[in-house]
Amino acid sequence: MAKTEVILTANVVGLGAESDQVKVAAGYARNYLFPRSLAIPVSAGNKRRLEVLRQRRAEREAHEFNTMTELAKGMSKLTLLLKVKTGEDGKMFGSITAGTIADELAHQFDIHLDRKKIHLEHPIRTLGDHELELRLHQDITAKLNIHVESTTPKPVETEPEHRGRPGREGDRPAGPRTEKRGRPQTARAAEGEEKPRAAKGEKAEKPAGAHGPKAARPARKEKAS
pLDDT score recorded for residue 121 = 86
Average pLDDT (76-81) is 91
Q: Residue 85 in contact with residue 93, Cβ under 8 Å?
A: yes
Asked if residue 134 and residue 97 are part of one domain, the reply reads: yes
Per-residue pLDDT, 50: 86
Is there a domain that residue 20 lies in?
A: yes
The overall pTM is greater than 0.85: no
Q: What is the mean pLDDT of residues 11-37?
A: 91
- The 3-state DSSP class for residue 220 equals coil
Is residue 101 domain-shared with residue 137, that is, in the same domain? yes
Q: How confident is the model at residue 14 (pLDDT cuts 50, 70, 90)?
A: confident
Identify the residue with better confidence: 128 or 221.
128
Angle ∠(189,195,197) on CA atoms, nearest 5 = 105
Greater pLDDT, 221 or 10: 10
The answer to the question of residue 195 being in a domain is: no
Does a structural domain hold residue 125? yes
Which domain-ending residue is among 150, 168, 189? 150
Instruction: Kindly state whether residues 78 and 145 are assigned to the same domain.
Output: yes
Domain match, 146 and 82 both:
yes
Do both 78 and 14 map to the same domain? no
Give pLDDT, residue 187: 47
Instruction: Determine, yes or no, domain membership for 215.
Output: no
CB 12 within 8 A of CB 31: no
pLDDT per residue over 117-138, tens digit each? 999 888 999 999 999 999 998 8
Residues 93 and 138 occupy one common structural domain: yes
Band of residue 203 on the pLDDT scale cut at 50, 70, 90: low
Full residue range of the structural domain in which residue 96 is found? 72-150
In a domain, 165, yes or no: no
- What is the per-residue pLDDT for 47? 79
Pick the last residue of a domain from 150, 177, 195.
150
Asked if residue 214 belongs to a domain, the reply is no
Q: What is the CATH classification number for the domain harbouring 85?
A: 3.10.430.100
Instruction: Give me the CATH number covering residue 24.
Output: 3.40.5.10
Residue 39 CB contacts under 8 Å (≥ 6 apart), including other chains: 6, 7, 8, 9, 12, 24, 29, 33
113 within domain boundaries: yes
Q: What percentage of the chain exceeds 70 in pLDDT?
A: 68
pLDDT category of residue 154 using cuts at 50, 70 and 90: confident
- Tell me which residue of 88, 82, 78, 154 sits closest to 125, measured CA to CA: 82
User: 186 or 35: whose pLDDT is higher?
Assistant: 35
Q: Which of 66-80, 127-141, 163-177 has the lowest mean pLDDT?
A: 163-177
pLDDT, tens digit, 9 for 90 and up, residues 80-123 = 999 999 988 888 888 999 999 999 999 999 999 999 999 988 89
How many domains does the chain divide into? 2
Residue 77: inside a domain: yes
Same-domain pairing of 39 and 81: no
Do 77 and 43 belong to one domain? no
